[in-house]
């Protein structure tokens, strides 16, 4: 645990990190090139996990972080398919512009990063490590994550 966390600034400093990555995720959500958008957001999430790991003094492994993100993503695939179909359906509506669709995706990307950051803050504050992160308990963790 670093000195700031030990001194009681823990969550405040961690939330500063999360807010910075929420902004980066919002920008990544504006990428419209298939696969590049996912790669950009994945890179932002790995960097978020790394910075939170460093902040809390937890050992970081890019391989482990990517595996966690892949496991989380696999649980979200049905939602991603629905999101893709939803975007196509939105384009059929005459009053929905391309810009509105981009804003929705940007906001969604930011929201995912906010939730992910909060999940890792809770995990690290409970003494967890990347190796002890259990993706099977995500639904319980997300249910307790503040909105």
Residues 28-62 have pLDDT tens digits of 888 888 788 888 888 999 999 999 999 999 999 99
Number of domains in the chain: 1
> H helices within the chain, ranges in order?
3-4, 10-28, 36-56, 62-92, 98-125, 138-144
Give the pLDDT score at 81: 45
* Residue 90 Cα distances to 40, 79, 84, 85, 144, angstroms: 24, 16, 10, 9, 31
Q: What number of residues does the chain have? A: 147
Span 118-139, pLDDT tens digits: 999 999 999 999 999 987 766 6
**Which phi and psi angles does 116 have, rounded to 5°?**
-60, -45
Q: What's the rounded mean pLDDT across residues 105-127? A: 90
Q: Which domain holds residue 117?
A: 3-144
pLDDT at 78 over 60: no
> The tokens of 5 are what?
């966390």
């Amino acid at each position: 645990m670093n000195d700031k966390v030990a001194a009681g600034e823990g969550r405040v400093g961690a939330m500063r990190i999360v807010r910075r990555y929420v902004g980066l995720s919002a920008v990544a959500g504006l990428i419209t090139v298939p696969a590049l958008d996912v790669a950009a957001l994945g890179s932002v999430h790995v960097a978020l996990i790394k910075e939170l790991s460093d902040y809390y003094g937890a050992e970081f492994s890019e391989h482990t972080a990517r595996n966690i993100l892949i496991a989380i993503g696999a649980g979200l695939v049905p939602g991603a398919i629905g999101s893709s179909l939803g975007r196509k359906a939105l384009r059929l509506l005459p009053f929905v512009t391309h810009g509105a669709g981009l804003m929705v995706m940007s906001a969604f990307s930011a929201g995912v990063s906010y939730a992910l950051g909060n999940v890792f803050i809770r995990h690290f504050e409970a003494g967890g490590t990347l190796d002890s992160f259990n993706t099977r308990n995500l639904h319980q963790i997300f249910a307790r994550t503040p909105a």
